[in-house]
Amino acid sequence: EEEKVGEEKPEVLSPEELEKLKEEVDERKKLISTLRGKPWPMRKKLLTLRESHEFVEKYEGALGKGKSRKLYAYKVMMLKALMGRPYGSMPRKTVPRADEANAMDFAVLWDFGVITNCLFGYAQYSVLFYGYYNSQRAIGWLKFRMPLSYFLVGVGTVAYSYMVVIRTMARNANEDGGGDNNSFNFSWKMFTSWDYLIGNPETADNKFASITTSFKEAILEEQESRKDDNIHLTRFLRVLANFLVLCCLAGSGYLIYFVVRRSQKFALEGLESHSWWERNEVNMVMSLLGMFCPMLFDVISALENYHPRIALQWQLGRIFALFLGNLYTFIIALMDEINLKREEEEVLKLNMTIWEASLYNGTLGVNSTAPPITVHPADIPRGPCWETMVGQEFVRLIVSDTMTTYITLLIGDFLRAVLVRFLNYCWCWDLEAGFPSYSEFDVSGNVLGLIFNQGMIWMGAFYAPCLPALNVLRLHVSMYLQCWAVMCCNVPQERVFKASGSNNFYMAMLLVILFLSTLPAIYTIVTIPPSFDCGPFSGKSRMFDVIQETLESDFPAWFGKVFSYASNPGLVLPFLLLMVLAIYYLQSTSKSYKQANLELKKKLQTVSRTINKVLTLIQHLLYSLCGTCTDIVCSPESKKKGGEHRAHQGKSNHQIPPSATSPPAPRGHRIPGPLPGNQWQPAPSVQRVPNSQRH
Amino acid sequence: MYLFVCILFCVLAVTHLLVCVQVCVCVYLAVCLCTTLIVSVPCSSTMVSGAIALAFLPLVLTFIIRYRYYFVLFYRAVLVRMWYDCTTGLSREERAFQYVLTHAIPGDPESILETFDLWCSKVEFISNIGPKKGKIMDRILSEHCPLTVLELGSHCGYSTVRIARALPLGARLYSVEMDAINAAIAEKIIRLAGFDDDTVELIVSPSDEVIPRLRADYGLERLDFVFMDHWKKCYRPDLQALEGSGLLGKGSVVLADNVLFPGAPNFLRHVRKSGLYEWKIHRATLEYSKGIRDGMAELVYQGIK
């Protein structure tokens, strides 16, 4: 490696020159980091940035690149050792002859369903899926325990996810603090919202807008808490709305069930005789329903007349139920397919013995020294692999979900914005204010989409190990795409309200999803025997037998004994009972602490109020004293102070200039109008007494 | 499959309770279309799968329910009008006039306006200013008490009667109407309401021709109040013509109707950019309709600074 580096850099520098070079490089780096704050025009900044970057890269790389090359080499070596022998060396890792023709067929690859066909092509036999991994116990010179690591990684990711979610929830709960934030709401907002350190007009405008928004939220909350309508009509309408939502959920569940049954029928008949639509029916229907039913729920919830935050929670709960119902219907259908594959496996096992017998038919007896018959790995018949099938289904689901999201974004947001913008000049009604207008950014829907995407990853990660990596890629792309879409095509929601009282609502939902999505995976691990011919657990009767095996062979005997004692039900059950009691105890103590906290706050408020009263009394006394004094001690330096005093007492002789104290042009609540950043000045607020508006 | 269709029909029955019949008709049609599509598709294997088409049903329902008022408006303003145009030989304005003639008390502007409102909400739809927005206009008029008022687009004369009713003594209203037939009907209604030529003068000509000649032909020096309710695309050129003619003075009020639906975006853009006006938008609903949002723009001319 040293020679390689030497080859690249033929010139040799003296120490002084090196020193100077290093100084210059440091200077350039500093320039890059401070470039943003410099008051130069953009073009100059970009040019300087580019030049500096080039300079730094050219002269800094001398040592750095060599180091990174070494590291890379080590990494590759480790990979080789860990991942076992590469493609083509064993039957499991090669494409069977029958599929070889299909796998590289470009017509197949360039079909619109290129991704789905890829899955049935080379990718099936790649690192992406369960079937690639060998069941050999120890691999390479490091004696890497592949099956054990596979199992532990799968279980460990779930445990780690639980820990992270609960830790985040605990942290958020601490920040919340609890307590009574409801007294003197408007007074607090009125007197403490402004930030007196603001010197920039733009910042001042933004601050003004945010304070106005928070006032509006508070007013809305007050209004909602004081409404009292006809209770019976409201209740009836709410029951009706729930009934409609249930109908919709039932309908969607039935539709998915129907479609999955149909796809099983298609699979039995053979997939080639059906169009692309019919092959991908299940995923498309699931994605479409997941996209359109929430909109219907939103419209139905207009019947219920709840406070916006409560309506949002109901909406999220319903979307939750929808996604969960769809997902579980899908999983139940998947179970049927798994059973089918297992039956196929039994049949194949039988055929395998017959085939092997026929191979050795022509050879001589046991004592002969004829060379063993070599069979190309691609010719050995392969057993069906239900785990890979499950992994494939999940990858297909996630890909179709991603595609649906992007296409809906492009059509529903971008295309709509383009049409509204450019057709508005020649359309009879105002497209921006009226019918299509720009789409609103739906915070809750997006968050829920992310949460469910994560749930699907958790579900499928055990059978498609590279799924999280794919998802990270997808999330990166999504982030940039949605960032752009929000800035370019969306307008904020019309109704002003705080979306969540605390952050823990979404984290709690994430926790529930984590639980519900790891449940099927754990069920399959524990109940269904692994395939005999593929995966790291092939040949075992249950997947978790690998732990037993490891305990027996890799650890000393006493460890196994200790473990068997520890996992005795007689020990485990009392331990669980103790944990439950500890949880109950902690819960009750935390409640009492919260109560004590609240009382302390109240006490603090009363004390501060009394102190304030005393202080104002003292001030009044002082001013009345000073008032008599200033007549005597009337010096020019204190005239200003005296003016302030008089203003304070309500007798203001001189007017404070209006420009210093009046707020900027009032911003009304947002009229559905052009996009922000588009030469649009906000309209003043409406339906107030006209005279108060005129400056 | 049949269970699903039954559920759908339950949903429809409920929407019948909630919303009016017309929307229900639309929903029924949509559902029938969908079901025929589903039933017919399995026969043809090359078409898009019926299940995927059915998955679009929530979207269709959402669309229909969210924009139900627009569908109702379309039904009333277009379909019912076409139907009556075919069955009776009269135009919509003539039908309105017949109704007002038979049901209102002559000489009483209040009664004429109420009859108009009744006809527009129950029988057919005409785009008058309507009772809610009319109240806002009455309030503005009573605050400013203008002496010279210009109205662009009187159509049937509803808004003319409304303005004339709120005018102080000695004030004069000039009403401009482009269409001769409508102008004739408006004239009849104004005279029926009891306003003579002193109070209301009807000018039959397009607004862009009249405005430059107002000073010369009618001897107007200044307009205290202008009401715009004609074609929305003419709002901006007419406003600019008024500015150019010098008939607007400081404190003159311009009230423009329907700036949000159907909308006059060019007009609003001009108002915001020119900086000549203190402007405000009064939010209300479209006349004779509950769910469609609309607004009137009130401009107060400030003069060139």
If you write DSSP's letter for every residue of A40-58 in order, what string do you get?
Answer: --HHHHHHHHHHHHHHHHH
Q: Is B229 a catalytic residue?
A: yes
Contacts with B62 from chain A: Cβ below 8 Å: 292, 295-296, 298-299
Round to whole Å and give the CA distance between A180 and A596.
12
CA distance A574 to chain B (A): 50
User: What is the distance, to the nearest Å, from the Cα of residue B32 to the centroid of all Cα atoms in its chain?
Assistant: 33
Which of B1, B54, B78 is most worth mutating to test chain A (most A CB atoms within 10 A of its CB)? Answer: B54
Nearby residues of A109 by Cβ (< 8 Å), 6 or more positions away: A117, A118, A121
Tokens of B4: 């699903």
In chain B, what is the greatest distance between 2 CA atoms, to the nearest angstrom? 79
Residue scoring higher pLDDT (A176 or B235): B235
C-beta separation of B281 from A686 below 8 A: yes
Residues of chain B with Cβ-Cβ distance to A437 below 8 Å are none
Q: Residue B250: which H helix or E strand, with range?
A: strand B248-256
The two three-digit tokens of residue A270, written as one number: 């053979």
Residue B257 falls in the annotated catalytic set: yes
Q: What is the mean pLDDT of residues A530-535?
A: 79
pLDDT band at A671 (very low <50, low <70, confident <90, very high): very low
* Residues from chain B contacting residue A299 (CB–CB below 8 Å): 61-62, 65-66
Measure A300 CA to nearest chain B CA, in Å. 9
Is pTM, for the whole model, over 0.80?
A: no
Distance from CA of A253 to the nearest CA of B (A): 10
pLDDT at A536 over 70: yes
Q: How far apart are CA B58 and CA A247, in angstroms?
A: 12
Alpha helices in A360-442 (DSSP H): 386-408, 416-423
**What confidence tens digit (pLDDT) does each residue in A202-215 have?**
888 888 888 888 88
Q: Is B85 a catalytic residue?
A: no
Cα separation, A633 vs A646, whole angstroms: 15
% of chain A residues with pLDDT over 90: 12
Of B4, B48, B264, the CB nearest to A255: B4
Is residue A101 over pLDDT 70? no
**Residue A428 contacts B where some CB pair is shorter than 8 Å:** yes
For position A583, what pLDDT does the model report? 95
Least confident of A166-180, A438-452, B195-209, B257-271: A166-180
Q: Which residue of B has its CA nearest to A682?
A: B272
Given the residues B182, B187, B258, B294, select the one marked as catalytic.
B258
pLDDT class for A363, splitting at 50, 70, 90? Answer: low
Alpha carbon distances (Å) from B274 to A156, B227, B229, B278, B304: 66, 19, 21, 10, 10
Contact A671 B281 (CB under 8 A): yes
Residue with tokens 């662009």: B152
| Other beta carbons within 10 Å of B19 | 18
A681 contact residues in B (CB cutoff 8 A):
272
Local confidence band at A561 (pLDDT 50, 70, 90 cut-offs)? confident
Of the candidates A262, A292, A429, the beta carbon closest to that of B56 is on A292
pLDDT at B33: 60
- Measured between beta carbons, which residues in chain A are less than 8 angstroms from residue B141? none
DSSP lists the bridge partners of residue B298 as B255, B280
- pLDDT of A171 > 80? The answer is yes
**More confidently predicted of B163 and A646:** B163
Q: How far is A289 from chain B (nearest CA, A)?
A: 6
Which amino acid, B125?
A: F
Q: Best of A237, A239, A247 to disrupt the B interface by mutation (most B CBs within 10 Å)?
A: A247
Name the more confident of B227 and A441.
B227
User: Is the CB of residue B250 less than 8 Å from the CB of residue B301?
Assistant: yes
Q: Given this model, what pLDDT does residue A2 score? A: 40
Residues of chain B predicted below pLDDT 70: 1-48, 305
Q: Which of A354, A339, A297 is nearest to A320 (CA)?
A: A297
Interior CA angle at A434 toward A429 and A440, to 5°? 145
Looking at every residue in chain A, the average pLDDT score rounds to 74
Q: Which percentage of chain A shows pLDDT scores above 70? A: 70
The two structure tokens encoding residue A223: 């209004």
d(CA B17, CA B24): 9
Helix or strand holding residue A174 (H, E): helix A146-176
Q: Kindly tell me if the per-residue pLDDT of A260 is higher than 50.
A: yes
Residue A61 — pLDDT band, cuts 50, 70, 90? low
DSSP run (H or E) holding A251: helix A231-269
What are the beta bridge partners of residue B203?
A: B176
Taking a contact as any Cβ pair under 8 Å apart, which residues of chain A between 648 and 677 contact chain B?
A: 671
CB pairs under 8 A between A and B: 112
| Model pLDDT for residues A314-360, shown as the tens digit of each residue | 888 898 888 888 888 888 878 888 888 888 888 888 888 887 777 76
